[in-house]
Amino acid sequence: MRKIIIQDDIFSLFPDFFRGIIVVNGLNNYPSLKRVRKLLKKAIDAQKDVNIENDERLMAWDDAHRKFGSNPNKFPPSIKSLIKRVRKNPALPYINSVVALFNLISLKYCLPCGGDDIERVQGDCVLGLADGTERFLALGSDEMETPKEGEVIYFDGETKNVMCRRWNWRNGDATKIEVTTKRIVINIDSLPPQTPEVAIEARDGLAALLKAHCDAKLYTDSLHAGKRELILDE
């Protein structure tokens, strides 16, 4: 019986961390949908007023990365990287409809959002600190890496394969979401000044979009200091 787990070390460092979760057990991940493209473009255009250097929501993730020893200027948190990207060029590659909806919600709520194909995960889905023995193959890469000890990673508890390095900096190739993907665990993370209520609103908004545009069968949950794990497979 697999679980989704946030290790105690994370809450020792970040006691107010909150993770909204969507578990998708079936969907149609269309290669392209015109209606989703329009929604994503609207979210991209709304980023014109975000102050990348002084926005407290982005600064919180910079500070979090520094706290576990990562340089956010060299390895930027995903939400900051995403906003910088659309400010330079108001468009994003349309990988598939699920990824497009992730990006839409990330931009709308200024929260890191991502997901993994859980049919490619053998053990528990764990957010914790690396011990230096884990393995990571970055999305689109053929070079295996080893996270540094103490780095926040999201990993397969059975194989020690890393699904995301530096918390939310770079995704792994092994569990990437493709058009053929049917089962996904989606994470929407928040730290103060963002509140759990905002993360829940973002989570539920994404769940509604996945149902409406990808025919998703799903349920939602959350993890926080008072609830650090949940059962993935009944």
Per-residue DSSP letter, 153: E
| Sequence ranges of the domains in the chain | 3-231
Give pLDDT tens digits along the chain (234 positions): 899 999 999 999 999 999 999 999 999 999 999 999 999 999 999 987 788 889 999 999 999 999 999 999 999 999 999 999 998 889 999 999 999 999 999 999 999 999 999 999 999 999 999 999 999 999 989 999 999 999 999 999 999 999 999 999 999 999 999 999 999 999 999 999 999 999 999 999 999 999 999 999 999 999 999 999 999 986
Sign of the alpha-carbon dihedral angle for 67, 135, 127, 76:
positive
Number of Cβ atoms within 10 Å of the Cβ of 127: 23
> Which CATH number does the domain 3-231 belong to among 3.40.50.300, 3.50.40.10, 3.40.630.10, 1.20.140.10?
3.50.40.10
Full-model pTM: 0.97
The encoded tokens of residue 211 equal 């149902």
User: What is the rounded CA–CA span in Å between residue 233 and residue 80?
Assistant: 33
| pLDDT value for 234 | 66
Which pLDDT belongs to residue 53?
86
Distance in angstroms (rounded) separating the CA atoms of residues 137 and 134: 10
Give 58-112 as a 3 state SS string.
HHHHHHHHHHCCCCCCCCCCHHHHHHHHHHHCCCCCCCCHHHHHHHHHHHHHCCC
